[in-house]
Structure 1
């Protein structure tokens, strides 16, 4: 199987949908020799921020000299980004070779009348096989959706479970109340382990604490008073946590001090579990962490920022961030969202901040909301809006409106930000 054939096989498995549950992934991994059992995990769930915590933890561990696996979704630039070891993407050769093994097992399962693995289950199995092959010391694992019935929750050798902010999202899959969603996400908590969380809504905290009691797990939630000496600006972003002074996280955003503190707490607990990490590695790891798509500057003339805010909590956090970092800048927005998101709420919170808005349809995505329909929603909150025919047109229009003294913020679905960033980079080269 070539890399192209492997991608075609995985794309074809999309017809099986996104099915929550562990039966099929368990069966597949059994047939592959259960590679996940040879690995140790930091398992991360949450609605917003889990990718940032993953990036901080894995970069710190890399700085400390460990071989670290990363499994993330969705990706920004290319398919292989989702499986990394020490921040290097899985090779095309490895994707092809491992996909062949998984394809053969999937065919066996079909022949025996069993369900075929979904695309996410195939990718999860591939990640475990690759991390085993690469002899990873530790794997930092991000849930795809939810927790309890997410394919990643097949793992049994979790060292620490970590939680980013939990809020309302994926209601059709996870539940219609915050408590229901929190219970699903809390399903990653394993017996007699350590749980670390960013500050949570009281309703969420109650669920996490109750699950920890049931599982005899220890719970540490980062309290606001534990993060001191806060500095948040483009020029200086730093905080003090547990005696570590002037820690400087490399990702911008109003929530990043909390995410970085949660990552530092994960490292603190890992040290007690026999994974030595120096203070220098913590400092260097936090500072070197990058996570494109989280209030990321992609150009400075004019200032051009991208952010993957695509649900209620993310919209609220992005609004906080704008008021902290660029309170007085003229703002031009580019927005592209998926039709199954609460885009009306997102627009109501953010578009009043903009002088002009350009809407765009996320390309090559069946869930994408047409640019004209999004523009109609935007008009309810800001009349200065137009729909672009393409990402290229959206970038050109926004740059014209921003001129030299304004700024551009592109936000919404992560699925279009990679194409948009490439378009911005092309414009810089010409």
Structure 2
């Protein structure tokens, strides 16, 4: 979903940073601006800037995990490049995920919460959901996956109200016109004949969530 959303924002002429994991070939794939991954020079510059700030404040850089370093480098790089928006995909660390350090997200989007998503083989959806709630911050707008479990959605709604965020429940109307090996042909509200170059019915739900965002 992150790539799809980033592309949508980019094509509206905004400068968009994107952080995602895991990667396929190179760790630098995690960090990109307008679809172009961070180069080695910029990566080193961000690393040195962060390291300098840690030392200036008397901190210990060795206590940071690899994933925490990547999140910090992404945020420093995006700030230095003055992007308009950032699509920041959380990892699987729940309440301890370093992306939770962002205090003022504009929108918080939840993917499908299910037992097979959780590393520790937890099967209780409420307990799994509890680990994700740290992402919801005061003043943010919360969007959930279309078809999310009703119990999960209720828990998310309660937390949204409790912290002073806004629950967004508008669902765009999507009609599947054609499914082929090269993608899907859709009507999305007033957009007719939209070509989605991805296959699989679940792509419609991902498209729906991107449209909500």
Give 1:180 shift. Answer: 1.1
Residue in structure 2 matching 1:234, options 177, 181, 188: 181
- Give the total of aligned pairs: 209
1:78 and 2:50 correspond: no
Give 1:251 shift. Answer: 2.4
Partner residue, 2:45: 97
Partner residue, 1:220: 168
1:157 and 2:107 correspond: no
Q: Deviations over 1:364-421 (max 9, x none)?
A: xxxxxxxxxxxxxxxxxxxxxxxxxxxxxxxxxxxxxxxxxxxxxxxxxxxxxxxxxx
Give 1:104 shift. Answer: 4.5
Q: Secondary structure at the match of 1:148?
A: helix
Answer whether contact 1:166 1:182 (CA < 8 A) is retained: yes
In the superposition, the TM-score normalised over structure 1's length comes to 0.45
Counterparts of residues 10-409 of structure 1 (less than 5 Å): 53-105=1-53, 108-110=58-60, 116-168=63-115, 169-172=117-120, 175-198=122-145, 199-221=147-169, 226-235=173-182, 237-266=184-213
Q: Deviations over 1:172-209 (max 9, x none)?
A: 39x55211111222321122322122220122112111
Larger Rg: 1
Distance 1:246 1:216, change over 3 A: farther
Distance 1:183 1:249 in 2: 33
CA RMSD of aligned residues (A): 2.3
Distance 1:118 1:204, change over 3 A: same
Give 1:164 shift. Answer: 1.5
Give 1:56 shift. Answer: 1.4
Q: Secondary structure at the match of 2:96?
A: coil
Distance 1:250 1:221, change over 3 A: farther
Answer whether contact 2:113 2:148 (CA < 8 A) is retained: yes
Distance 2:136 2:174 in 1: 25
Q: Deviations over 1:91-150 (max 9, x none)?
A: 10111222223345556423xxx9711111111110011001111000000001144321
Q: Deviations over 1:336-363 (max 9, x none)?
A: xxxxxxxxxxxxxxxxxxxxxxxxxxxx
Give 1:228 shift. Answer: 2.4
Q: Deviations over 1:19-44 (max 9, x none)?
A: xxxxxxxxxxxxxxxxxxxxxxxxxx
Give 1:262 shift. Answer: 0.8
Q: Could you tell me which runs of 5 or more consecutive residues in structure 2 were left unpaired when the two chains were aligned.
A: none
Distance 1:251 1:229 in 2: 13
| Range with bigger deviation, 191-200 or 95-104 | 95-104
Distance 1:216 1:55, change over 3 A: same
Q: Secondary structure at the match of 2:88?
A: strand
Partner residue, 1:292: none
Q: Could you tell me which runs of 5 or more consecutive residues in structure 1 were left unpaired when the two chains were aligned.
A: 1-52, 267-430
Distance 2:125 2:194 in 1: 32
Q: Deviations over 1:292-329 (max 9, x none)?
A: xxxxxxxxxxxxxxxxxxxxxxxxxxxxxxxxxxxxxx
In the superposition, the TM-score normalised over structure 2's length comes to 0.87
Answer whether contact 1:238 1:257 (CA < 8 A) is retained: no
Distance 1:65 1:231 in 2: 29
Quick check: which one's helix share is greater?
1
